[in-house]
Amino acid sequence: MDPQTHKRYLDYRGRYEYFGRQKAILTAVQFAAFDAELRTLQAKGDTLEDEDEARLVELRAILLMD
């Protein structure tokens, strides 16, 4: 895991302590996979299909970003 992803994982763990206790915490490997998918969708910018926009919302919820 690269240092930037690791920092985002630590930030996620902090959000989990505050917001996510009702869910199972993601492992570092799970987080990295979801984070990579999120970053790929975000890189598409305004060219997202409806399906991609829905997945983006879902990923943000999984990663406790909303």
pLDDT digits (tens, 9 = 90+) for 35-50: 999 999 999 988 999 9
Please say whether the beta carbons of 9 and 31 come within 8 A. Answer: yes
pTM of the model: 0.89
Q: In which band, very low, low, confident or very high, does the pLDDT at 61 lie, cut at 50, 70 and 90?
A: very high
* Domains of the chain: total: 1
Give the domain range for residue 7. 3-62
For the residues of the chain, what is the DSSP string, one character each?
A: --HHHHHHHHHHHHHHHHH-TTSPPPPHHHHHHHHHHHHHHHHTGGG--HHHHHHHHHHHHHTT--
